[in-house]
Amino acid sequence: MTSHTCWRAHRLSLGLLLLGSLCVPSVAFAQNCSLCYTQAAAAGARIIQALRGGILILVVPPIAICAGLTVMAYKKRNQFNDEQLVDDSDELR
């Protein structure tokens, strides 16, 4: 595989991932629990604000973990290829 073909495949997979992520929110909104919705709608403004704050607090750690793993994977993406190139160049000498 040439680098141009690899880059094209990478762009295609990135485009498909982006397209798939645009389809997910409509499915996620369809899973609302009617009991939860009724209880939240009947609650006062302070309870609704507390629910929104709680949702934010529960969402932040998983997003931070995923972002951290993505950054680590991105930084280590060529670690094994670089070592192999060094080993191959030593054998040629």
**DSSP secondary structure of the chain:** --HHHHHHHHHHHHHHHHHHHHHHHHHHHTT--HHHHHHHHHS-HHHHHHHHHHHHHHHHHHHHHHHHHHHHHHHTTTHHHHHHHHHHHHHH-
Confidence of residue 1 (pLDDT cuts 50, 70, 90): low
pLDDT tens for residues 15-64?
Answer: 888 887 777 666 566 556 777 778 777 888 888 888 888 888 889 999 99
Query: Whole domain around residue 62: which residue ranges?
Result: 44-93
Structural domain contains residue 38: no
Q: What is the DSSP letter of 33?
A: -
Q: What is the DSSP letter of 2?
A: -
* Claim to verify: residue 83 and residue 58 sit in the same structural domain: yes
Q: What is the pLDDT of residue 70?
A: 95
Domain count for the chain, please give it. Answer: 2
Are the C-beta atoms of residues 10 and 1 closer than 8 Å to each other?
Answer: no
* Claim to verify: residue 50 and residue 74 sit in the same structural domain: yes
Structural domain contains residue 25: yes
* Claim to verify: residue 65 and residue 25 sit in the same structural domain: no
Which is higher by pLDDT, 13 or 4? Answer: 13
Structural domain contains residue 56: yes
